[in-house]
Amino acid sequence: MTVPVIAIDGPSASGKGTLAARLAEKLGFHYLDSGALYRVVALRALRMGVAPADGAQLAELARTLPVSFRDHAVLLDDEDVATAIRTEEISMLASGVAVFPAVREALLARQRAFRRAPGLVAEGRDMGSVVFPDARVKVFLTASAEVRAQRRYKQLIDQGLPANIDALLQELRARDLRDSQRAVAPLVCAPDAILLDTTGLDPESAFAVLERIVQGH
Residues that bind ligand DC (CB under 6 A): 12, 34-35, 38-39, 94-95, 98, 124-126, 175, 179
Residue 201 CA to residue 118 CA, distance in Å, equals 30
Tell me the closest approach of the beta carbon of residue 138 to ligand DC, in angstroms: 13
Contact (CB, 8 A) for 90 and 42: yes
Tell me the closest approach of the beta carbon of residue 188 to ligand DC, in angstroms: 12
Residue 84 CA to residue 89 CA, distance in Å, equals 10
- In single-letter form, the type of residue at position 110 comes to R
Of 5 and 94, nearer to ligand DC (C-beta) is 94
Residue 159 CA to residue 153 CA, distance in Å, equals 10
What lies within 8 Å, CB to CB, of 192 at 6+ separation is 128, 138
Tell me the closest approach of the beta carbon of residue 149 to ligand DC, in angstroms: 13
Of 3 and 92, nearer to ligand DC (C-beta) is 92
Of 98 and 206, nearer to ligand DC (C-beta) is 98
Of 139 and 179, nearer to ligand DC (C-beta) is 179
